[in-house]
Structure 1
Amino acid sequence: MTNGTGLGGRKATPRLWLAPAVIVSVVMAVLAALYLGGTVNSSDHLSAFPVAIVDADTGVTTASGQRADVGRQIAGSLREGIDHDKFDLRSLSLAEAKHELGRAKLYGAIVLPPNLSRKLTALASGAVSGAAVERPEITVYTNPLANTSSASVVNTLANRALTRADHAVGKELLAKVTAARAKAAPAHGRAVPGTTRLVLSAPMDVRVTPFQHVPDGTGNGLSAFYYALLLVLAGFTGSLIVANLVDAQLGFAPKEFGPRYRMEPHSGRSRLATLALKWGIMTGVAVVVATVYLAIADGLGMPLDHPWQLWGLSVLAITAVAVVVQSILALLGSLGMVVNLFLFIVLSVPSAGGAAPLEATPSVVRFLGTFEPLHQIYVGVRSVLYFGAVWDAGLGRAVTAAAAALVLGLGAGVLGTLAYDRKGLARHHGAPSMELPAAA
């Protein structure tokens, strides 16, 4: 009988098993809530989703001398009918809309063409005279490179809004044509032929098209997200590996290889000196890993129009993440592992904005996206890979955030470990070097 103890070990009190069980359960619960909550029923969480309305219609003066401006009518109807809490509908020129789309500041744009009123007027006249006419074309631009799932939101919005507008304009045209036909040929009554009625009931042709087509080799526009995730994992996971290996080598933690257990002699290094060593190692690792990532991406056929910018951002991002991770570990010890897990994985991945736009996620996830590292890195990688490495397309935000994190991590790490060293809080276990078989 063991009386609740391990083989020659300490009694299994609740304290021994309760803390791991609670921590793991809490981490997994938060993970599930954020992952599922950020993807289930995303349409219910829309907030300030940026879409432009471009009214380029120049209007037309009819034969009777009346001024027709259908574009203004449709644009006004869209502005009045849209839920402004869910959508940020911006009235822009075509040039402004293309500029914003090209910098991932818009997820879509509804473009009313310059000849909209003219073609609709001609359509009504042709229904009376029998002349050949064509329907005006409204273009709806999506921006799948800004976010792959944003295109479906834009498509749904445009479909609902423009269907209502199309029916309203069609009803008005049909009334005008009916009146004109009755006036021109009273003997035939007010009836409009079925084919003509069908065309007039939906007089506008809506064409949905991506502003920029998703290139091959981008994983349907997801390569930026996965590349950013790799950068965070390099800094996070790499730091954990380096911390364990360095601590073991310097005698702060045991080495275990299979059944072998060894405690090296205590090195006597201060906390600050040990942290500086880990930072230096991870800086070198960042350069190597960034180079390896770039080589693998090129070998797999990813479009790399700006390789140097991607490499530089990768080095900066990995280094910044590593510095913060190492500082947290140095200041909090074992608790730092849990804090880092939450900061860089549990809270960071759902708020990245790669799988779904942050404007289609719950408010708590949008809030996390304002500071969580993965989102900041993602918009920078997205800018480099898809939007010409333009500074205000996300690259500037990524560089600024990484630099700020780097400075904050360095400052907190230096000040914290220096304070520990000055108070004599040395990492010393007092045990001699030993090499024993690990417990079975």
Structure 2
Amino acid sequence: MKITAGRILARPGPWLLVLITTILAAILASSYLGGLLNPGGNMRNVPVLIVNSDTVGTDNLGAGLVDAAVSGNRPDGKIEWRTATDEADMRTQLDRGEVYAAVIIPAGFSGAVHALSGADPGSSFPMIRVLTLPSAGAMASSTAASAAQQFVATTSKTVAAALNSAPTENPAQRLLLSDPVRADITPYQSLPANTANGMGAFYLALVLMLSGLLAANVINMAIDTALGFLPQEVGPRRKVSLAMPIDRVHTYLTKLAVLAVAAPAITTTVLLMAKQLFGMEITHFGELWLFGVAVVATTALVVLALLSIVGPLGLVLGLIVLMVLGVPSSGGAYPLQMVPPAMRWLGEGLPMRRAIDGIRAILFYDGRWDAGISHSIVVLGIWLASALIAGLAVPALFDRVTAPRHGHEHPLAAVTPEPVAV
């Protein structure tokens, strides 16, 4: 008897799918909308550095400004003021991407301020230098730069209040003394060409991970179809092959062998297109290529392992872990200091964040291992090894305790090769 849609829909199973898809939509909304809609409200401890180079003489103001900034730190504060011992230490922290902006109280600042209280204060403004870090990302850099500018404005008001009694009848001098301290804002580094104002690391990591996810799905589907475990359907044609007598472990090994060739090919294609076709400036191409292969392989291995353990549901789980939860917690679109605490916690261990950190260090921080590469390799290595072990061990267990995947003998299994004359 022919089965109709009405008979299928009369059962509760199809309607359970409505609940499942709604739950998936809720997870997606919680991650992306809940994680990214309110960066200002979620903001905690955005790191800004302050260093005092105004150390000559006993009556210098720099030390007091540094103390005032750091003393304003609170556990739940939006800005975390950090200090550096000198400008060399400041450069080290900026080169590692540990802070998003730096404020420098320059040498001679106190003298310039004290000169304003003299009989002839002159017409020059005491300057405080602000260094921004565009490589940290547009949101991180602009937020830290705004905090630095606010610090300069507050300092200027404090100095102006102290100079109110300075005698001057000159309107220009009065204007100068009303807002005497100015910010000299410059980028700490110039970004490489065509890197999306510092967002290039995020976009490149996203492309590599999506490529790995798609590769895993295509490899899994194509090999399972070729081995007879899935039907082949193209338009109106449907072909069902006899299942080959191969166990789950060797099926997984077959997919790994294809992935071992696909991951370098995918990475090469993506990086060459980025560099040659779209003009992205990549100084450390070889290092980025090796790291990119690791990103693609890790992503694909995680998905293949999940597919081998839970079947088609593995693709959904892979999307949730790697993309739905991975992107908002990665620090790519917004810095981790501007997402909810749960997202910060997830970001510590998920592959997306580590992929971005490593690529950012290679693109913008001269390939420094202490700028994020070493930690990223450790985390990606744990994911890769875990996926490899689970993808082999669990199917091996399935092969031992359950029936073979093939329900009947493939004709090739019954073929006995003829002896070859020597």
Do both proteins adopt the same fold according to a TM-score greater than 0.5, normalized to the shorter chain?
Answer: yes
Give secondary structure in 2 for the equivalent of 1:174: coil
Superposed, which structure 2 residues align to 1:310-389 within 5 Å? 310-389=288-367
Evaluate the alpha carbon distance shift between residue 10 and residue 397 of structure 1 in structure 2; reply closer, same or farther with a 3 A threshold. Answer: farther
Q: What is the one-letter code of the residue matched to 1:264?
A: S
Q: Which residue of 2 aligns with 1:19?
A: 16
CA contact (8 A) 2:128 2:152 kept: no
Give secondary structure in 2 for the equivalent of 1:220: helix
Q: Which residue of 2 aligns with 1:239?
A: 216
Query: How far off is 1:429 after superposition?
Result: 4.7
Query: How far off is 1:246 after superposition?
Result: 0.6
Q: Which residue of 2 aligns with 1:152?
A: 142
Query: How far off is 1:48 after superposition?
Result: 2.6
Give secondary structure in 2 for the equivalent of 1:38: helix
Query: How far off is 1:24 after superposition?
Result: 2.0
Q: What is the one-letter code of the residue matched to 1:94?
A: E
Task: Give the aligned length.
Answer: 407
After superposition, give the CA deviation of every residue in 1:316-359 in whole Å (9 maximum; x if it has no partner): 11111111111111111132122112111111111121111011
CA contact (8 A) 1:110 1:140 kept: yes
Evaluate the alpha carbon distance shift between residue 403 and residue 290 of structure 1 in structure 2; reply closer, same or farther with a 3 A threshold. Answer: same
After superposition, give the CA deviation of every residue in 1:376-429 in whole Å (9 maximum; x if it has no partner): 101111111111111111111222222211111111112111111111342235
Query: How far off is 1:143 after superposition?
Result: 1.0
After superposition, give the CA deviation of every residue in 1:137-186 in whole Å (9 maximum; x if it has no partner): 111112110122112211221233322221111111233x24xxxxxxxx
Evaluate the alpha carbon distance shift between residue 74 and residue 84 of structure 1 in structure 2; reply closer, same or farther with a 3 A threshold. Answer: farther
- The two structures have a TM-score, normalised by structure 1, of 0.87
CA–CA separation in structure 1 for the residues paired with 2:273 and 2:267? 10
Query: Does residue 108 of structure 2 align to residue 115 of structure 1?
Result: yes
Query: How far off is 1:370 after superposition?
Result: 0.7
Q: Which residue of 2 aligns with 1:291?
A: 268
CA contact (8 A) 2:245 2:410 kept: no
CA contact (8 A) 1:59 1:71 kept: no
Query: Does residue 65 of structure 2 align to residue 74 of structure 1?
Result: yes
Q: What is the one-letter code of the residue matched to 1:116?
A: F
Larger mean CA deviation between 236-245 and 150-159 belongs to 150-159
CA contact (8 A) 2:48 2:148 kept: no
CA–CA separation in structure 1 for the residues paired with 2:65 and 2:163? 14
Q: Which residue of 1 aligns with 2:124?
A: 134
Evaluate the alpha carbon distance shift between residue 56 and residue 84 of structure 1 in structure 2; reply closer, same or farther with a 3 A threshold. Answer: farther
Evaluate the alpha carbon distance shift between residue 276 and residue 432 of structure 1 in structure 2; reply closer, same or farther with a 3 A threshold. Answer: closer
Q: What is the one-letter code of the residue matched to 2:315?
A: M
Q: Unpaired segments of 5 or more residues in structure 1? A: 61-66, 179-190, 434-440
After superposition, give the CA deviation of every residue in 1:267-322 in whole Å (9 maximum; x if it has no partner): 11101110111111111100111111121112121101011011111111111111
Counterpart pick for 2:48 among 29, 47, 51: 51
Evaluate the alpha carbon distance shift between residue 321 and residue 392 of structure 1 in structure 2; reply closer, same or farther with a 3 A threshold. Answer: same
Q: Which residue of 2 aligns with 1:91?
A: 83
CA contact (8 A) 1:50 1:87 kept: yes
CA–CA separation in structure 2 for the residues paired with 1:24 and 1:57? 61
CA–CA separation in structure 2 for the residues paired with 1:82 and 1:397? 28
Give secondary structure in 2 for the equivalent of 1:140: strand
Evaluate the alpha carbon distance shift between residue 378 and residue 14 of structure 1 in structure 2; reply closer, same or farther with a 3 A threshold. Answer: farther
Q: What is the one-letter code of the residue matched to 1:287?
A: P
Q: What is the one-letter code of the residue matched to 1:6?
A: T
Query: Does residue 399 of structure 2 align to residue 421 of structure 1?
Result: yes
CA–CA separation in structure 2 for the residues paired with 1:171 and 1:14? 78
Identity %: 30
CA contact (8 A) 1:143 1:212 kept: yes
Q: Which residue of 2 aligns with 1:208?
A: 185
CA contact (8 A) 1:27 1:346 kept: no
Evaluate the alpha carbon distance shift between residue 339 and residue 245 of structure 1 in structure 2; reply closer, same or farther with a 3 A threshold. Answer: same
Work out which of the two has the higher radius of gyration on C-alpha atoms and give 1 or 2: 1
CA contact (8 A) 1:59 1:118 kept: no
CA contact (8 A) 2:295 2:355 kept: yes
Evaluate the alpha carbon distance shift between residue 111 and residue 430 of structure 1 in structure 2; reply closer, same or farther with a 3 A threshold. Answer: same
Give secondary structure in 2 for the equivalent of 1:388: coil
CA–CA separation in structure 2 for the residues paired with 1:131 and 1:221? 42
Q: What is the one-letter code of the residue matched to 2:161?
A: K
Query: Does residue 376 of structure 2 align to residue 398 of structure 1?
Result: yes
Superposed, which structure 2 residues align to 1:120-269 within 5 Å? 120-125=113-118, 128=119, 130=120, 132=122, 134-175=124-165, 177-178=166-167, 192-269=169-246
Query: How far off is 1:40 after superposition?
Result: 2.1
